[in-house]
A and B are shown apart, each in its own frame.
Chain A
Amino acid sequence: MSGFRFLARRLAQGVLILWMVSSATFILMHLAPGGPSMLADPKLGPVERAAIEARLGLDLPLPAQYVAWHRNLLKGDLGQSYLYQTPAGSTVLARVPNTLLLAGSALLVSVLLAVPLGIRAGLRPGRPFDRLMEFVSVGALSLPTFWYGIVLIMIFAAMGHLLPAGGTATPGLEGSMVDRIRHLILPVAVLSLPIAGELFRYVRSGIEAMAHAPHIPAARAKGLTEGAITRRHLLRNALLPLVTVIGLQAPMLVGGAAITETVFSWPGMGRLGVEAALGRDYPVVMATTLAVAAAVVAGNVVLDLLYRWIDPRVRIE
């Protein structure tokens, strides 16, 4: 019962948040100087300009545009992209699989790197391995993506000819799994490294702090093996902050991989959102913002449910 009420309340909150996000985006977007890039052609005369503005509905006063956009949203119509001349909703949705593939792979690789390394470093703090990882993780966190991405492309594609320089697939080989994985390696390497660096630091400090908690010597006194202590008593407790970080990182990955996606010509939502923002493609800006906001809201609900599963002491209220 409480679960149902919890979900209903979160849903209502979600709708409210989405409305606030869409309103804020609408206002900010129209406050920004310039306007749709298709109207930025210096040669455009008043006749063509007026015709384009009328076709896009930009000749209406702003409050009318605001109401119209929300009315259409309720009908499931997010409008027509200015840049792509396709429905904004389906344009954004078409990018979701690419985004999930890249973000999901990057997150998976990050966790697979960060958790074992974090445990190892956290169990023996101050040792050479821990020191080294401290250095490596800070380095990974501070690498500028646009530079590091290009360096990887130069090494592995331009010089080594080992991996493709960008894109999601070789044109004509879109169905090939091997081809897809080859295209994934470099962008995943770029995207996952800073996340792995951050996750590592949470795991490591979580393990280190937990190692001094009173229940660990108790478990040891009980005669449990070190492996069992790590798995059952250390990791589970250290996992809670990790889940929080992942839950907050995941939606950011959806919208925030724009630089990686641009450097690797990866057609994901982040790149779409940035291109739309630069081109003042209002319908696509609104649609991407809504999609990312919805992902954040959904991510938080999932997070709350996960907390409860990981730590039965957590109560949902």
Chain B
Amino acid sequence: MRRSGGFASLVLLAACAVGSKASSNTLRLALINDPILNPVLSPDIGSVLVNKVIFPGLVRPDDQLRPSPDLATSWTVSSDGKVYTFALRRGVRWHDGVPFTSRDVQYTFEQIRDPKAGGFLWSDYTAIDRVETPDSFTVRFVLKSPFAAFLTLLGYNTGIIPEHAFHGKPIADNTGFNRTTPIGTGPFRVVSAVPGSSLTLEANPDYYGPRPKLAGIVFKLVPDANAQIAALRAGELDLITLEPASLPGVRDVPGLTIRQTTVPQHYFVGFNQRRPLFKPALVRRALDLAVNRKAIVDGVLKGAADLPVGTIPVALGEWFADSLPRAATDTAEALELLRQAGWNRDAGGALRNARGEPFRFTIRVDKGNPSREQSALALQQDWKSIGMDVSIETVEFAALVRDDLQPGKFDAILIWWTTPPDPDQYSYYVTDQINNNVAYSNRAVDSLLEIGRGETDPVRRRAIYHAFQAVEREDPPVLVLYYPREIQAMSDRLGGFPQLGIRDALRHAELFSLSSR
């Protein structure tokens, strides 16, 4: 009786020990909704994050966000910049044991480049003419024209998917793969997916890189931002990213570390240059000079942002024109530029043109994000103080994009771009390109961005983008407000997490570790 009792408690103890050991070496991260486990189909940030762990690409960004080998061990670029030949890693196996070959890469790009497949990467790869597989471990991309951002894009969101898992059927229809049983080549593989609750990954013992230090990663669905903070403080999550307004909830908590990293994003106010009001560069420069960005960065963003130069953010390292001065406030200069553009202040202080019309416009911002709504209020005050008549309209994000931004039906809009870590901004700021929603048009910018995307020599390419940023100071395509920093709150136990945004850091998940307390 006694002995069996002792034995039972021993078993229980052992069970506890096993249980706690397994969980103490399992990283717990938060998602806000169920991810789509297919990098070609990833429609949202959560899916993108998870897929970075499961599906490596040919290359991946290193700690400077430069492309480094991953599923490809080396590559060559032809002298005309149009042919990229990759030597693939040998001996790589998919999570189901099937060998990985060049055909999988070719298949992935067939899916990406077929708009009917339902993917989100189509526009990244319009430069590709064809993808060839001379042998099982060589892939050759032939481009229509030189495209310098190509390598960076390969390492950004483009995970490789296994041809054999789809049996020639449309990839969007394979619900089993896309929801619960994905097959990748990454350091972690999915063992269970509980819709609405969690996604559990375990270390892949056959991973081609260094053996993962974690036993596994659990992505928990915690949709509410405050609940994420509570779960982090309760020790049920190990890392979250948060908004500046939430910083007080994690500051000075024992066992937590707060980090800020620069990320490839620029927040801006786009002025619709289809409107005569915003056509003159003088007016856009004046709007820019009137803004007190420091007040916004310190007050609204609690310092978690960097002051801008142009549209290329500081996270892009050498591509960022550090030698140019950061945007500054100068209301006297702003008023002088407006005077030159034909806008003078009347007796009441309001700006009027020769016809007596007021300087009136509406700025649109998405509803529900306190940082952006407060930024819009601060902007309104700054512009009002030099005599402009500015109103704010808050609109739901989807409506803002679909009904205002893309059809070009707005005066001014507060929004942002998240870009791959490459300075190519051709689609955003070249005349008549698809993402140039503000209808910006500058000949010098058109040619610089055209040459820049084709230039494969890094030194010459850098000079081109620094020149682009200098032109932006004279004729700003948009009013760049700030480059946000990503705020990460993480357990002190977490090690090996690169000093990168979580998007890029997750490409290095095999290096993460958790120390025991």
Contacts and interface: CB of A to CB of B under 8 A. Distances in A.
Interface of A: 33-48, 50-52, 54-55, 83-86, 91, 94-95, 98, 146, 149-150, 153-154, 157-159, 161, 164-169, 171-172, 174, 262-265, 267, 271-272, 275, 280
Name the residue among B194, B196, B233, B403 with the largest chain A CB count within 10 angstroms. B196
Nearest to A82: B43
A265 B275 CA distance: 46
Contacts of B118: 51-52, 55
Nearest to A259: B224
Contacts of A161: 234-235
Interface of B: 22-23, 33-34, 36, 41, 43-44, 115-116, 118-120, 122-123, 172, 175, 178-179, 192, 194-198, 200, 218, 220-224, 226-227, 230-231, 233-236, 395-399, 401-403, 405-406, 415, 417, 434-435, 437
Nearest to A40: B398
Name the residue among B41, B222, B402, B434 with the largest chain A CB count within 10 angstroms. B402
8 contacts: A42-B401, A45-B435, A48-B115, A48-B123, A51-B122, A83-B33, A159-B233, A171-B218
Given A34-B403, A267-B221, A153 B197 contact: no
Given A43-B123, A43-B435, A265-B220, A165 B236 contact: yes
A267 B197 contact: yes
Given A39-B402, A42-B415, A34 B396 contact: yes
A284 to B, nearest CB: 12
A209 B197 CA distance: 47
A166 B231 contact: yes
Given A55-B116, A86-B175, A161-B234, A169 B406 contact: no
A172 B406 CA distance: 45
B401 A165 contact: no
B116 A51 contact: yes
User: What 5 pairs between A and B have smallest CB-CB spacing?
Assistant: A267-B196, A34-B398, A33-B399, A158-B233, A34-B399
A51 B236 CA distance: 40
Contact of B395 (A33, A157, A267): A33
A49 to B, nearest CB: 9
Contacts of A98: 196
B399 A157 contact: no
A275 B22 CA distance: 33
A158 to B, nearest CB: 4
Contacts of B223: 262, 265, 271, 275
Given A84-B179, A166-B222, A171-B220, A263 B227 contact: yes
Contacts of B226: 146, 150, 263
Given A42-B435, A43-B435, A157-B231, 9 more contacts: A34-B397, A42-B405, A45-B123, A47-B122, A48-B119, A84-B179, A157-B230, A167-B198, A172-B22
B194 A174 contact: yes
Nearest to B237: A165
Name the residue among B34, B197, B220, B398 with the largest chain A CB count within 10 angstroms. B398
Name the residue among B200, B224, B434 with the largest chain A CB count within 10 angstroms. B224
Contact of A42 (B179, B233, B406): B406
Contacts of B116: 51, 54-55
Contacts of B437: 42
A94 B195 contact: yes
Given A41-B120, A157-B234, A33 B196 contact: no
B231 A172 contact: no
Given A150-B226, A171-B218, A265-B221, A165 B175 contact: no
A50 B399 CA distance: 17
Contacts of A172: 22-23, 200
B234 A39 contact: no
Contacts of B395: 33
B230 A154 contact: yes
A55 B116 CA distance: 7
A265 B224 contact: yes
Nearest to B196: A267
A85 B43 CA distance: 11
Contacts of A164: 234, 236
A267 B32 CA distance: 11
Contacts of B406: 42
Contacts of B222: 166-167, 265
A50 B116 CA distance: 9
A193 B354 CA distance: 65
Contacts of A50: 115
A126 B406 CA distance: 64
Contacts of B195: 84, 86, 91, 94, 267
Contacts of B120: 41, 44, 48
A265 B227 contact: yes
Contacts of A174: 194
A165 B403 contact: no
Contact of B403 (A33, A44, A263, A275): A33
A158 B230 contact: yes
B159 to A, nearest CB: 17
Nearest to B218: A171
Contacts of A165: 227, 230-231, 234, 236
Contact of A37 (B41, B221, B398, B417): B398
A36 B122 CA distance: 19
Nearest to A168: B197
A235 to B, nearest CB: 40
Contact of A85 (B36, B192, B194): B36
A285 to B, nearest CB: 14
Contact of A84 (B34, B234, B405, B434): B34
Contact of A153 (B198, B234, B403): B234
A302 B458 CA distance: 74
A264 B196 CA distance: 12
A44 to B, nearest CB: 8
A42 B226 CA distance: 27
Name the residue among A34, A55, A164 with the largest chain B CB count within 10 angstroms. A34
Given A48-B115, A267-B221, A35 B196 contact: no
B403 to A, nearest CB: 6
Given A48-B123, A165-B230, A267-B196, A41 B401 contact: yes
A51 B111 CA distance: 13
A89 to B, nearest CB: 13
A39 B437 CA distance: 16
A275 to B, nearest CB: 6
A170 to B, nearest CB: 8
A55 B172 contact: yes
Contacts of A41: 43, 120, 401
B197 A169 contact: yes
Contacts of B230: 150, 153-154, 157-158, 165-166
Nearest to A163: B234
A91 to B, nearest CB: 8
Nearest to B416: A42
